[in-house]
Structure 1
Amino acid sequence: MNTRTDGSAVRIGVLAPLSPPGWVQAGRHLLAGLELALSDVNDAGGINGRPLELVVRDTAADPAKAAAAVDELAALGVATLAGEYHSVVARSAAARAAAIGLPFLCSSAVLDALTEEQTDQVARIAPAQSHGWRIYADFLLGAGHSRIAVAADASVYWASGTRILRDHLTPRGGAVVELDMSAPGAVCDELAGSGATALLLLVGHPEPAVSIVRAVRRDPRLAGIMMGAPAGQPELAAWEEALGEDGAAIPFLRYLPERLGPLGVRVGAALRERLPEAPSFVAFEGYDTIAVLAEALRSGGGAAWPDVVVEGTRGTIRFSRVPGIGVWQWAWPPVQVVDRDPARPGSLRVLHTG
């Protein structure tokens, strides 16, 4: 990491989805966490006396736009890159960052294959998809669901999720059935005849997720079907705003401990002052990203991820090599399966921990 000694600010390039079709609310939570940590670092003296500065670029969930932003930020002299929420976008950014030798700490994207080949330039705060989604599959089995239907959009991320679920469930007597995604009604018709007891929404928000949830809730044939959203669509307030009580009791993955420690409690309170709703795990991932980068920058080294050990909001962060994953990985952040309480959709219930 280039930490010039001319007294200027140390600049971190930030990638986040801040306009549609990106998930804007996730991007705002990520940015809130990054900015809060930046403030804390600068209040504590910055990077060896120099202020830390964020240079933010909107990816709008566009992989090509993200790759171009990496080049732009490199030309501006940033010391490192941070952020991004969407996996396919983060993969594009990671590939470009690795190619030009610019360190990148990915905050929230979980796709296992964040890079095609192993690289020392890229590290990740969020857990790999295979880790979290296996925990989710264990939750399904423990809840009595072995025949699972999936409504999946066409993308490498959703295809990866479907494969992880199938590979984990099949040896344990489970099965995964892929449904026709031509329309919400088609999903309901196939689901009714599938023999599945659970439907997983491997789709974007708000659409088609909102339309599918409404269609299933209103179909009397599907009254006993549990819906789930392992990718975490119900985490953010926009889900409750769009669906109300229809959006409750849909379990999803969340990367928070059951109880936050003192740092997490303090950061959570500060984030609530910056956000119009309760902070999501994405905001905590943003905070932890800057905490890690600040420590790495103070040491003055390159992308020396295995040398960094930081007390984050959700536990001690250290990086290692995980088989099958080409980037340095925090193994692992805490993982929960939670849902919105039907009695109080604004509140979350912890159903399973991994």
Structure 2
Amino acid sequence: MNAPLSLVGAERADGASVRLGVLVPLTRPGWVEAGRHLLAGIELAVREVNNSGGIDDRPLELVVRDTAADPGRAAAAVDELVDSGVTAVVGEYHSVVAQSVAARAHTLGVPYLCSSAVLDALTDESTEWVARLAPAQSHGWRIYADFLRRVGRERIAVATQPSVYWAFGTRILREHLAPDGTVIELDTSALTTNALCDAIVEHGATALLLLVGHPEPAVPIVRAVRGDRRLTEILLGAPAGQPEFGEWAAILGEEGAGIPFLRYLPECLGPLGDRVGKKLRERLGEAPSFVAFEGWDTVTVLAAVLRSYGTDPATIAESWPLVEVEGTRGPIRFSRTSGITTWQWAWPPVQVVDRAPAEPDRLRILHIG
């Protein structure tokens, strides 16, 4: 899906606009619900920017492209967007796709503000062109490992699929739980759900983490584990956040509750976050995920850069460490962080939450990083 140009919340003042390229997963195999929430946050923020005068009386205009979780498709979209004259590129949820976007942005010399992808190394080398709002995977997953240790679950089975993202997550867990913890990898591409349950029992695991895609194979694995009497005491977990979105609860109901996952929100939203959250709820027709807030923060940060430092791409890239903006989840500023090749907000708030048993629509905070 290639969405048309979208001018949100303002009429053109002089025939000119500031174009932003937006990359989001809007079709399968991309995580469509995440893409919808991310785009809702981006569009809401653009409307607010345009209603407050735009960028030097020029409205922001979105050029939306669907990545469908395809790195090659995303890289080609960056080329197209640059050729069409966008000032900067924003968005993306999937880490392996964001890697492709970041690499292409670095090569072409176009600013890219990554909204939601967490893989530590978005580029092979240090770059001035890319900044990121989401926390690095190593930061969030170490907090998740702390939670597992706190609740006494240190013999961990991980149901995995081949992916640099899942492999890096497994490595973080293994390193952070050592020397007392154990991480056992179970390849879902080689095991049926019944064989997976047998392996969990054989290894004496006290937790099973779903390092797999949603809905397949995550949903069948949850149902198999919930239906196995040998595994009634097992902790199911999903650090990548599969249970965050309403689709999870709609498919799994109570079976999908009690599965801790990471989300990037403070314990309590401040006045700005509360205001934006209410507008996002109206726009989405449901409670906004942290991804929707990431979308709003993305445009708000970039608009602050454009208003203060102009629309020249090189100047935008030079300005990442100079900007400080009040976001929905706290003050946002970028810095260089050890092991991260891009400019990074260090750090957004991190929580471990789950859906309350017997009340799957309610989220419970279990641990704060």
TM-score, structure 2 normalization: 0.93
Given the alignment, which residue of 268, 274, 277 partners 2:277?
268
In the alignment, which of 165, 190, 201 is matched to residue 199 of structure 2? 190
3-state DSSP class of the match of 2:33?
helix
Match of 1:87 in 2: 95
CA–CA distance in 1 between the matches of 2:81 and 2:192? Answer: 41
Q: Which residue type is aligned with residue 251 of structure 1?
A: P
Alignment match, 1:242:
251
Task: Give the superposition deviation at 1:277.
Answer: 1.7
For the pair 1:25 / 2:33, whether they are aligned, the reply is: yes
Distance 2:334 2:146 in 1: 25
Q: Is the contact between residue 355 and residue 361 of structure 2 (CA under 8 Å) also seen in structure 1?
A: yes
Contact residue 201 and residue 229 of structure 1 kept, 8 A: yes
- Matched position secondary structure for 2:219: helix
- Could you tell me which amino acid in structure 1 is paired with residue 325 of structure 2? V
Structure 1: unaligned runs, 5 residues or longer: none
Amino acid paired to 2:127: T
The Cα offsets for residues 308-344 of structure 1, whole Å up to 9 and x where unpaired, read as 1100000000000001110000000000000000031
Letter in 2 for 1:329: Q
User: In structure 2, what is the Cα distance between the partners aligned to 1:79 and 1:213?
Assistant: 44
SS at match of 1:38: helix
1:183 Cα offset (Å): 1.8
Q: Deviations over 1:134-181 (max 9, x none)?
A: 00000000001111110011100000000000010013x111011142
Alignment partner, residue 215 of structure 2? 206
Residue 176 of structure 1 aligns to a residue whose secondary structure is strand
What residue in structure 2 maps to residue 159 of structure 1?
Answer: 167
- Indicate yes or no: 2:329 matched with 1:320: no
Q: Is 1:55 equivalent to 2:69 in the alignment?
A: no
Conserved 8 A contact 1:67-1:92: yes
How many equivalent pairs are there? Answer: 349
Paired residues for 1:1-354 under 5 Å: 8-171=16-179, 173-181=180-188, 182-298=191-307, 299-300=309-310, 301-303=315-317, 304-354=319-369
Q: The residue matched to 2:275 in structure 1 has which SS?
A: helix
Shift of 1:7: 5.6
Q: CA–CA distance in 1 between the matches of 2:251 and 2:124?
A: 37
Q: Which moved more, 1:277-286 or 1:296-305?
A: 296-305
Distance 2:336 2:84 in 1: 31
Following the alignment from structure 2 to structure 1, what is the Cα–Cα distance between the partners of residues 16 and 270?
Answer: 34
The one-letter amino acid of 1:333's match is P
CA distance in 1, matches of 2:106, 2:271: 35
Give 1:6 shift: 7.5
CA shift digits 1:180-220 (9 cap, x unpaired): 42221121010011111000000000000000000000001
Amino acid at match of 1:295: A
Aligned Cα RMSD in Å? 1.0
CA–CA distance in 1 between the matches of 2:193 and 2:53? 54
Stretch moving more, 185-194 or 80-89: 185-194
**Equivalent residue number for residue 9 of structure 2:** none
Q: Distance in 1 between matches of 2:316 and 2:302?
A: 11
- Return the letter of the residue paired with 2:49: V
Q: Distance in 1 between matches of 2:159 and 2:224?
A: 13
In structure 2, C-alpha distance between the alignment counterparts of 1:268 and 1:198, rounded to whole Å: 33
Segments of 4+ moved more than 2 angstroms: none
Aligned residues of 2:161 and 2:187 also touching (Cα < 8 A) = no
Q: Which residue identity is paired with 2:316? A: G
Contact 1:198 1:227 in 2 (8 A): yes
Percent identity for Structure 1 against Structure 2: 70
CA distance in structure 1 between the partners assigned to 2:82 and 2:271 by the alignment: 36
Corresponding residue number in structure 1 for 2:7 = none
Q: Distance in 2 between matches of 1:277 and 1:197?
A: 34
CA offsets 1:50-84 (integer angstroms, 9 cap, x no match): 10111100000000000000000000100000000
Tell me, what secondary structure is at the counterpart of 1:14?
A: strand
Letter paired with 1:226: L
CA contact (8 A) 1:180 1:190 kept: no
| 1: CA distance, partners of 2:316 / 2:214 | 37
* Structure 2: runs of 5 or more not aligned: 1-12
3-state SS of the aligned residue for 1:206? coil
